Structure 1
């Protein structure tokens, strides 16, 4: 992937991933495809394409900059007037951390056991049926392979017999 040095001013404005993507898109266009040689040389079409990519990238950055303060403010929009009363009424969690972790682990174990039991009840018969069908298909497939092998042996014997009759 090599754009001509004449485009370095445009390429600098794009991140490397977009430069690679632009190169790929330029070479794989459905309408008016360009060869690697044409894309590597000075070409007004390539310059126009790169300008378009830079404009798209800059618009994207501008939109992200505009929308970020909205997101940031909504994430941190809290009422700070009663902050002192909020912090005074909290119990330290660190003292009970091990106890809480133990309770959470027990609950997770219980939930995972329940989920396994539910899945076994719900899908057990389905899995047995699928396994049974699979085994039946494997058996049928093996019978067909055996029959094919027998037919090959018969064909080989017939060819051998024909070959022995031919010179006479």
Structure 2
């Protein structure tokens, strides 16, 4: 794999694995594949292809890091500075710890609310059915307790009556 040195600015913005993959894709395309000589020469098609790959890679990085917008990252720029400049321009995360914690808490609150709504939609009718059955069982138990109390009162009355009859004999 030998891209022309004219593309080193674009190639340096990609990890080596993507450079290798880009080379393979460029010379093994189904529609009009390029020869290795054509691909390694200065060619508008090669430059356009590499710019496209860099843009895809940067969009992927941006998507992966979109939940951390506080950390400045110049990888999203087309003209990428060297690593030393990036490190110098990046604010340390610890300075923003409170803000990050606040954002994480808000996100957790939002997710827990979504989970509650989902559970209510998913299990709401089941819970209503179970609650109704439970209430019916509680009502039946209360009815049986009441009947038992009534039977105890009657038994107590009968015992008194039998006691008074045995005394009178």
TM-score interval, smaller chain: 0.3 to 0.5
Higher relative contact order (CA 8 A, sep 6+): 1
TM-score by length of 1: 0.41
TM-score by length of 2: 0.41
